[in-house]
Structure 1
């Protein structure tokens, strides 16, 4: 069985409460409940308006610090809500890493919507990513697995794709798309992981883009993979058309960009399919994304 990474620290309600008492005692009296267990973090709801984001493994602690660094800068330029930390937590003698208190944002994980309902807000997500994809600051976090040229880690990617789809169709699609020219020009801000479990939506549309732990500087095609991770062909066409119209001059919107984006979708799909047997929603997302990538021929 392909499983999510094991927790290196058991993040319990008792641990969250202890952290709050130690560092933010004015918040410690609010009700706490576990809201989600992710690959990297546990999210605990704190009262009605806040959440506590606590890493469950060391690698994620660095990602939380990246969010603390960049989200205050990025939030004002984005047309949807993002979880800008309202309090910062630091290591203690009983917990080794950084953590955050963030707003509790409206909506549910978008993957829980029907795909046709997600298609209705494809243009809104395109506008959000176009607003994000601007030249990155010099201190943008480095991420070795997002925003990079597709040639990096290519052997690992191909092996994982072969495992995820023994028919060879996904590998053929990836190989053709990964041969596209590299991203030209300056490194741009990249969310790094905008799949529909990292978005919040409701009947009114897209409400928030969350989980910026993979934020980095590099190729915006990494984010544009969401066209295949989130939407059906109908929504994908709307997303591509709107992003093409909305992207800034620092983005080279051409056939190569969308080929790289689809290659990134295949790459992310393979990770979902080979590492999520114990996370049903991530596994289902992987199956959906594989179907969408292969639907393009």
Structure 2
């Protein structure tokens, strides 16, 4: 099975144990259990108390694996919060035709599943993390492309799709959405490409003892326009936390306009999604965007 035939339905504990026995026999007898939710692009299993196994679950996510294996060790020393540590580089084999990884386990719970005691501090700490990430030397880093869902690249890559999606809102909402999209396209990125995370969602932020403890999932990361990393402003932040995030990032208004474009694109995709909570979150984001915040 090659990387073009990666099949999520075949990824289970039996497969993971087979791969461990083949490539990392010292870890093969450790307790193993799936981690839920595992994300849209990868499946994760906890291995003992201090390790995890992560496998791509679709062909399109396979390039993210080598990217993370290559760059996470270089990014980790430069950022103020822990990121996944690559402890095992799994190779394609007859059992699984794509690369895969063993990471150190990071303690905490996703910010999406806990009440954050101090959302202002979380916003400040996250902004500081993203500023430090932007400051990492971009030389040789992966430019935007399919591996990042073109995050970090020009928004006009998604122009045709957004126009097709506008039918999902109606009347004045459609007018507002079209206007936000035009405003985002009107200020293309002209700065120096910088590192971006690419998927700053509360699912990828670990909280421990009430504070931000780690940042996960660099599958959509790369070097380009950091505007895509602003989207949390409209998805999850409110009041003073929103102000702290905006102030901490220190970005110009053109970048925030492109950030609104990224938030709009994702919300239009999700507004008719069936999984619980996705349509509700999309409606929330659209309301925030249309309110002009």
User: What's the TM-score once normalised by structure 2's chain length?
Assistant: 0.87
Partner of 1:19: 19
Partner of 1:148: 153
Partner of 1:225: 231
SS in 2 for 1:121: helix
Aligned length: 281
CA contact (8 A) 2:162 2:265 kept: yes
Partner of 2:266: 268
CA contact (8 A) 2:67 2:219 kept: yes
User: Residues 119-157 of structure 1, C-alpha deviation per residue, up to 9 Å, x if partnerless?
Assistant: 441011000000111351224254242101112221112
* Aligned counterparts, 1:148-297, within 5 A: 148-163=153-168, 165-166=169-170, 167-168=173-174, 171-172=177-178, 174-244=180-250, 253-274=251-272, 276-278=273-275, 280=276, 282-296=278-292
Provide the C-alpha distance between the structure 2 equivalents of 1:234 and 1:125, rounded to a whole number of angstroms.
14
**Residues 1:170 and 1:205: Cα distance change in structure 2 (over 3 Å):** farther
Q: Tell whether 2:131 aligns with 1:130.
A: yes
Q: Which runs of 5+ in 1 are unaligned?
A: 1-5, 245-252
Q: Which runs of 5+ in 2 are unaligned?
A: 1-5
Provide the C-alpha distance between the structure 2 equivalents of 1:212 and 1:170, rounded to a whole number of angstroms.
32
CA contact (8 A) 1:85 1:103 kept: yes
Higher helix share: 2
Shift of 1:113: 2.9
Provide the C-alpha distance between the structure 1 equivalents of 2:116 and 2:278, rounded to a whole number of angstroms.
15
Greater relative contact order (Cα < 8 A, sep 6+): 1
Shift of 1:185: 2.3
Q: Tell whether 2:89 aligns with 1:88.
A: yes
**Residues 1:74 and 1:56: Cα distance change in structure 2 (over 3 Å):** same
Shift of 1:263: 1.4
CA contact (8 A) 1:222 1:264 kept: yes
User: What's the TM-score once normalised by structure 1's chain length?
Assistant: 0.86
